Chains A and B, each alone.
Chain A
């Protein structure tokens, strides 16, 4: 509006002539301005103070460096799992209401009961999982470990409650997730001013706890039982744009917050034994990092388990497809909360109702669908297994090799095979079920079905492996089908039976219907056909294929095969065959390496050949066995088929050397040429000659391919750019930048490496990616987990790293929490939350002395860190932990007793406590003493020979040698003579053992409603309190009145001789006090007459008066004398002053005289004298 009205301004006209233009031109010519200024005003740019300059420089660098974080490889998945938002707060603060409002805000759906995690799609790139955290400290601890964002609800009308601070402290220990405070119940305030004041107070307190400026939301009031729409919307916006920091524990461990649980146990088994261990499958989004199949997991509140199987399911709550639009449509606003009854599964008291959602059916389909080839091969099977077994002898070596079966499929099958899936399940899977069933049924009837199956299969494989040239193509199909059938029908029962015997065994990987496995299993049965030479050929060929294209590389097996030389026949033919095989085998190297190793877990019996079903042929070393017991050597023997004397062989490696031919891009000639192209055209200024690059000439002659030209240009461009970049960056590039770039490159590589692979293969290499929705099967879970399942309590599967499933001693740094009101006592059981786990253990507290000794402490220090050693699960160093004394109920005071960090893991501990051994001298020579009472035997003394000992008074000594009697006495020397009353002690250190208590808190197994009442081992104090035991105190420790006996000293006795020699002064005075004068010597008192008395009284009065007069006269005299003295000093001063001046005058005169004289003497001859 403004612009239109304003009239066009006149443009500035630049002067081209005149004084102004001249001036400008001059300025331009002179060059850069800055330079000029530096020259003109050098003082302004000079260094004023070097110190100040250094300071400013340091400060600038500090600020710069503070911004740096250690660069980490960005491992966030492309499609991240839903963000876990934990809503925490004391009861009745409005948690469920808030979740309900947020869900309504995002999905327009209303949810009744919030139990279990609720997953929703909140935006085009973000999904959220809400979970409510109740007031149980177990739940708080578990959820703090998996939370990405914490919504901390605070009742503003009440203020902070202990739970809030407890949760904050739990978060701090286990990595700090994002925390957002939400103030509710703000409408309870009547007065606006108090509300504002409280808000401010709460905000500042919250800031000091979290960080300055942490977001705090205010939900001002309720409308129809819900929060105000606008406020919820704002909160939702904050949540959906929030960025999260990667937490160390979370990014290094896979974990699943289960949102669905199913009991897979056989109902019959449950019926017969309701307390039997259950097999459970848990569903949820995988978070954190890659999860490996068959790994170990910990379920907090339940225990450690070995995962039996992991499957990846289609996402029940997928992100919308990428489209260029702004928002989500209604269809894409998904909500998934099976535990709350949304999304298909409803949990009841004793049943689970599933209305099959699309995802579930899909998964089943996937399992069912066989690959076309497999079906084909199964259809081709005409004969039953038994028939084939019977016929196997005939067709043993006429069958053709089916080694080239190249079907890539197999994972579905493998999953089907997996024995831990229920049998019923499997029945549904196959269309050829009947056949399959028949097979297994028949084999089950047999007594030793395993062996029959195995041997049958093996024999068939001989057929497969027979390398005869007259391979009939018609046979091929049949053979393959046999083989497949064997794997279909034969192997599963074997596996299952074995599984019942032993749970842990080598996991079967990869495709089972794969040629290499066949070879493998064929190989294990070779020994049975020892007498056949053909067989040996076969084994050789097998070996050659194992060693990947080198016919003789498996030499060690050659040498071990029987001494017969018949294998040498037809060597060339075999070589050529092997070559062919190698050509086929090369792409299948993966299968060769990882193809299931059935042979590995065959029991001994199976390998023995049966003769007529009664006798077993026992043969000593056969190839497979010998391979298992072969020489353990990493040397890879050379391929003898290469003759390095031949010129062509030598030529085949010519280019491996710098002297050989170089690649197109690296050849010196091409590089030179390229340089020339880059800087090709140039003009020699001196001669004026113009040099043209060669490329110019070329396009004249022949029309080159457009594509090639374009590529070349692009390449050139790229090269130029690279060069420019490197030159440009060189000045600025720091170590930090380099590191960052390296990480960036690694992240790109990580992303790109498996990108174009299908999920099933990818999962094998990487493990299951975070963000996938997985189903995890966990066997042998205690039945209480299922029977006491409460969806309000979170079920977390925390993956454990290698060796994190073991237990050992942990040394930790611990500090009693400053809000916990009592110090902790050594050997009092404590519940620790460390890693995924919560467990009770007995810590010993200690402190490190200056010499590295760990000295036991009885109690934790009040305000200081101390060491703590426990017996517990191995957890990586640097992991934080917190300790509580009990998880039952809520006490009024602060529950978190201590926090700390793991420092060291070991299988032994070195904590010592001080031990003072006390002994008493029983015989004293000069400096040598015999001491008893410290030890009991000679042996004990022998152990301490040379140890230093001390008396209470500080006389030091050393143990010398044991004495024969009394037992345990020894000779010791001291630096001074001891007294018999001295006590000798030996200061020693006694190792303390840490009690091996590791008691996981199994709170999830407790009955519903009592899950927060887990009680473990009690402390000694509690035990005594509960049992009413009061210890009798040690009588020595009681306070008693101190009674001191009077000490009497003997009189000093001086020898007579000495007395004589002493001077009189020092001589002991011989005169004794005379004591009382006897009565006869006492003089009687005088009694005066009255007259005499009068006279004396008068005399006394007179003398008193006289005395008084004298005294008065004396004082008068004294003051007069004082006055006189003062006067005298005054006169004296005056006199001296006068004299001084006189003297001064005199001296001056003399001086003048002297000067005059000297002056005149300088002038000439003395005139006066």
Chain B
């Protein structure tokens, strides 16, 4: 009876979350073929299935079809519903994997989101919940998503591979997103961080702090790294430790780096001193890359720019990560938005790290179609 848009098709399971999230936001259906079709163990993995289940929980009326082998996925998005959601994330990936996507969807729900996610809070692969808390939330605040109900709380900490952590995310609903002009990150005024340890000696955290400070003190005196040792029921199922560092600039931009110990029984164990030093170096690397948004949140910033009103938004980024580049292509597919990408080379006598990229776009004028009008 009526012609519907034909939707998009992709190959392979990479950038799985991007495709589903953008599909949900744009209302375009998506078909993903050849998911690990040539591998010994074809089809969707458990963590991807868990992600789909989470998506199903926050939406209403989505249609998900997976073939027998799990190599083809068809997704017709429903409307974002939100509300209180509880989800047991698969411990193959950390909560950060799920949370990254959830944060992209959270402001566009029908009712304010209040999600409890259980699983691995910290692992070396994905951005940890601490990192997202310290960088993604302030970033979203710049786009007008703020208020009392905007929070991310680490209730329990669970290291890979056992998990057992718990995170509480609450996010208010917005009808429109503000355009932003983030062209100047400003200078870094302070460095903060969290050194966490569970089911190991609490001394580990102190050792991490000392070594990280030794590197960072060359630049700035205002460094404070909190130690967070969780015990008992709040400590999850596996031992481990790690460090998250955040550099805050005068203009309220956050650059961060993190490192976790290798999961129990996988690879060589690391010394906390090495971890601290390496993490500090990663932070320096991140600062070298620079920009107003740190490298793991580039895609979130670009998405919110795209979904802004029909005005020009600008954001200065460090070099684009491969993930972000693919995200830009996906944005073009789903929203027909192209970014103007200008490379800013550092001046000769300037000592501010590497090349930067100024991303400019005109928003699509997206309005939250899920929110109820009273």
> A residues within 8 Å of B by Cβ?
73, 75, 252, 289-290, 292-296, 303-306, 502-507, 509, 546-550, 553-554, 556, 586-587, 589-590, 592-594, 597, 600-601, 604, 620-621, 625, 627-636, 638-639, 642, 644, 649-662, 746, 749-750, 753-754, 764-767, 801-808, 873-874, 876-878, 901-908, 998-1000
> B residues within 8 Å of A by Cβ?
1-17, 25-28, 34-36, 38-39, 60-61, 78-79, 97, 100, 110, 125-127, 179, 181, 187-189, 215, 218-221, 250, 281-282, 284-288, 290, 295-296, 298-299, 309-312, 319-325, 328-329, 332-341, 343, 345, 350-355, 357, 360-362, 364-367, 369-374
Which residues in B have their C-beta under 8 angstroms from that of A652? 288, 351, 353
Which residues in A have their C-beta under 8 angstroms from that of B34? 604, 628-629
- A–B complex contacts, Cβ < 8 Å, 19 sampled: A292-B335, A295-B336, A303-B3, A548-B319, A586-B343, A589-B320, A600-B10, A632-B15, A633-B97, A634-B321, A658-B187, A750-B362, A753-B360, A801-B365, A806-B5, A876-B369, A877-B371, A998-B1, A999-B1
Which residues in A have their C-beta under 8 angstroms from that of B364? 801-802
Residues B282 and A998 in contact, CB atoms below 8 Å apart: no
Q: Kindly state the separation between the CA atoms of A903 and B373 in the bound complex, as whole angstroms.
A: 5
In the complex, the chain A residue whose C-beta lies closest to that of B100 is A634
Distance between B74 CB and nearest chain A CB, rounded to angstroms? 13
Distance between A425 CB and nearest chain B CB, rounded to angstroms? 24
Residues B320 and A593 in contact, CB atoms below 8 Å apart: yes
Which residues in B have their C-beta under 8 angstroms from that of A304? 2-4
Q: Kindly state the separation between the CA atoms of A628 and B1 in the bound complex, as whole angstroms.
A: 36
Residues A764 and B338 in contact, CB atoms below 8 Å apart: yes
Q: Kindly state the separation between the CA atoms of A1036 and B245 in the bound complex, as whole angstroms.
A: 79
Q: Which of A295, A644, A906 contacts B285 (CB 8 A)?
A: A644
Q: Kindly state the separation between the CA atoms of A662 and B36 in the bound complex, as whole angstroms.
A: 52
Q: Kindly state the separation between the CA atoms of A994 and B163 in the bound complex, as whole angstroms.
A: 45
Residues A653 and B27 in contact, CB atoms below 8 Å apart: no
In the complex, the chain B residue whose C-beta lies closest to that of A753 is B312
Known A653-B287, A661-B351, A802-B335; 20 more pairs at CB < 8 Å: A504-B8, A586-B343, A621-B39, A633-B125, A633-B126, A634-B299, A642-B285, A653-B219, A656-B287, A658-B250, A750-B311, A765-B340, A765-B361, A767-B336, A802-B366, A874-B369, A876-B369, A877-B369, A877-B371, A904-B372
Residues B12 and A549 in contact, CB atoms below 8 Å apart: no
Distance between B183 CB and nearest chain A CB, rounded to angstroms? 11
In the complex, the chain B residue whose C-beta lies closest to that of A630 is B14
Residues B2 and A303 in contact, CB atoms below 8 Å apart: yes
Interface centre among B7, B324, B364 (most CB of A within 10 A): B364
Residues B9 and A907 in contact, CB atoms below 8 Å apart: no
Which residues in A have their C-beta under 8 angstroms from that of B361? 765
Residues A746 and B311 in contact, CB atoms below 8 Å apart: yes
Residues A547 and B373 in contact, CB atoms below 8 Å apart: no
Distance between A192 CB and nearest chain B CB, rounded to angstroms? 53
Residues B312 and A658 in contact, CB atoms below 8 Å apart: no
Q: Kindly state the separation between the CA atoms of A296 and B100 in the bound complex, as whole angstroms.
A: 29
Distance between B187 CB and nearest chain A CB, rounded to angstroms? 5
Known: A635-B125, A749-B181, A802-B366. A503 touches B39 (CB 8 A): no
Q: Kindly state the separation between the CA atoms of A676 and B355 in the bound complex, as whole angstroms.
A: 36
Which residues in A have their C-beta under 8 angstroms from that of B296? 634-636
Q: Kindly state the separation between the CA atoms of A903 and B374 in the bound complex, as whole angstroms.
A: 7
In the complex, the chain A residue whose C-beta lies closest to that of B63 is A907
Which residues in A have their C-beta under 8 angstroms from that of B97? 632-633
Residues A547 and B38 in contact, CB atoms below 8 Å apart: no
Q: Kindly state the separation between the CA atoms of A502 and B353 in the bound complex, as whole angstroms.
A: 47
Residues B320 and A659 in contact, CB atoms below 8 Å apart: no
Residues B27 and A631 in contact, CB atoms below 8 Å apart: no
Residues B7 and A907 in contact, CB atoms below 8 Å apart: no
Residues A805 and B345 in contact, CB atoms below 8 Å apart: no
Distance between B67 CB and nearest chain A CB, rounded to angstroms? 16
Which residues in B have their C-beta under 8 angstroms from that of A651? 351
Residues A589 and B16 in contact, CB atoms below 8 Å apart: no
Q: Which of A621, A632, A653 contacts B17 (CB 8 A)?
A: A632
Q: Kindly state the separation between the CA atoms of A901 and B16 in the bound complex, as whole angstroms.
A: 37
Known: A653-B287, A904-B373. A625 touches B126 (CB 8 A): no
Distance between A503 CB and nearest chain B CB, rounded to angstroms? 6
Q: Which of B125, B284, B311 contacts A650 (CB 8 A)?
A: B284
In the complex, the chain B residue whose C-beta lies closest to that of A597 is B329
Interface of A, secondary structure class, is loop
Which residues in A have their C-beta under 8 angstroms from that of B328? 593-594
Q: Kindly state the separation between the CA atoms of A660 and B290 in the bound complex, as whole angstroms.
A: 15
Q: Kindly state the separation between the CA atoms of A656 and B374 in the bound complex, as whole angstroms.
A: 48
Which residues in B have their C-beta under 8 angstroms from that of A767? 336, 362
Residues B351 and A654 in contact, CB atoms below 8 Å apart: yes
Which residues in B have their C-beta under 8 angstroms from that of A504? 5-9
Known: A506-B8, A653-B352. A907 touches B287 (CB 8 A): no
Q: Kindly state the separation between the CA atoms of A237 and B243 in the bound complex, as whole angstroms.
A: 73
Residues B3 and A657 in contact, CB atoms below 8 Å apart: no
Q: Which of A593, A632, A654, A662 contacts B329 (CB 8 A)?
A: A593
Which residues in A have their C-beta under 8 angstroms from that of B321? 547, 553, 634-636
Residues B220 and A658 in contact, CB atoms below 8 Å apart: yes
Residues A907 and B333 in contact, CB atoms below 8 Å apart: no
In the complex, the chain B residue whose C-beta lies closest to that of A747 is B311
In the complex, the chain B residue whose C-beta lies closest to that of A291 is B336
Which residues in B have their C-beta under 8 angstroms from that of A998? 1-2
Residues A594 and B338 in contact, CB atoms below 8 Å apart: yes
Q: Which of A554, A592, A766 contacts B362 (CB 8 A)?
A: A766
Which residues in B have their C-beta under 8 angstroms from that of A873? 2
Residues A636 and B323 in contact, CB atoms below 8 Å apart: yes
Which residues in A have their C-beta under 8 angstroms from that of B215? 644
Distance between A578 CB and nearest chain B CB, rounded to angstroms? 14
Q: Kindly state the separation between the CA atoms of A1115 and B343 in the bound complex, as whole angstroms.
A: 132
Which residues in B have their C-beta under 8 angstroms from that of A876? 367, 369
Residues A634 and B5 in contact, CB atoms below 8 Å apart: no
Distance between A984 CB and nearest chain B CB, rounded to angstroms? 37
Residues B372 and A903 in contact, CB atoms below 8 Å apart: yes
Q: Kindly state the separation between the CA atoms of A289 and B127 in the bound complex, as whole angstroms.
A: 38
Which residues in A have their C-beta under 8 angstroms from that of B16? 632
Q: Kindly state the separation between the CA atoms of A410 and B14 in the bound complex, as whole angstroms.
A: 30
Residues B14 and A632 in contact, CB atoms below 8 Å apart: yes
Known: A593-B328, A658-B189, A998-B2. A908 touches B60 (CB 8 A): yes
Residues B322 and A546 in contact, CB atoms below 8 Å apart: yes
Which residues in A have their C-beta under 8 angstroms from that of B353? 652-653, 656
Residues B188 and A808 in contact, CB atoms below 8 Å apart: no
Residues B312 and A750 in contact, CB atoms below 8 Å apart: yes
Which residues in B have their C-beta under 8 angstroms from that of A765? 338-340, 360-362
Q: Kindly state the separation between the CA atoms of A878 and B176 in the bound complex, as whole angstroms.
A: 14
Which residues in A have their C-beta under 8 angstroms from that of B10? 600
Distance between B324 CB and nearest chain A CB, rounded to angstroms? 8
Residues A635 and B8 in contact, CB atoms below 8 Å apart: no
In the complex, the chain A residue whose C-beta lies closest to that of B189 is A658
Which residues in A have their C-beta under 8 angstroms from that of B343? 586-587, 589
In the complex, the chain A residue whose C-beta lies closest to that of B126 is A633
Which residues in A have their C-beta under 8 angstroms from that of B373? 877-878, 901-904
Distance between A629 CB and nearest chain B CB, rounded to angstroms? 4
Q: Kindly state the separation between the CA atoms of A167 and B109 in the bound complex, as whole angstroms.
A: 37
Q: Kindly state the separation between the CA atoms of A589 and B320 in the bound complex, as whole angstroms.
A: 10
Known: A504-B7, A621-B38, A655-B351. A553 touches B322 (CB 8 A): yes
Residues B11 and A628 in contact, CB atoms below 8 Å apart: yes
Distance between B341 CB and nearest chain A CB, rounded to angstroms? 5
In the complex, the chain B residue whose C-beta lies closest to that of A662 is B187
Residues A547 and B319 in contact, CB atoms below 8 Å apart: yes
Known: A553-B322, A765-B340. A657 touches B219 (CB 8 A): yes
Distance between B192 CB and nearest chain A CB, rounded to angstroms? 14
Which residues in A have their C-beta under 8 angstroms from that of B320? 547-548, 589, 593
Residues A749 and B126 in contact, CB atoms below 8 Å apart: no
Distance between A1142 CB and nearest chain B CB, rounded to angstroms? 88
Q: Kindly state the separation between the CA atoms of A502 and B9 in the bound complex, as whole angstroms.
A: 10
Known: A590-B341, A638-B285, A765-B340. A653 touches B351 (CB 8 A): yes
Q: Kindly state the separation between the CA atoms of A660 and B188 in the bound complex, as whole angstroms.
A: 10
